Amino acid sequence: MEDISVQELKDRLSKGEHITILDVREPYEYEEFNIGAILIPLGDLKDELPKLNDFKTTELIVHCKSGNRSAAAKVFLEQNGFQQVRSLIGGMLAYQALN
Where are the domains positioned within the chain? 6-97
Question: What's the rounded Cα separation, in Å, for the pair 99 and 94?
Answer: 10
Q: Express each pLDDT in 6-21 by its tens digit.
A: 999 999 999 999 999 9
Q: 25: which DSSP letter?
A: S
b/e per residue 85-97 (b: at least 16 CB within 10 A): bbbbbbbbebbee
* Per-residue pLDDT, 15: 97
Beta strands across the sheet bearing 59-63: 38-39, 21-23, 59-63, 84-87
CATH topology of domain 6-97: Oxidized Rhodanese; domain 1 (3.40.250)
Q: Express each pLDDT in 33-85 by its tens digit.
A: 999 999 999 999 999 999 999 999 999 999 999 999 999 999 999 999 999 99
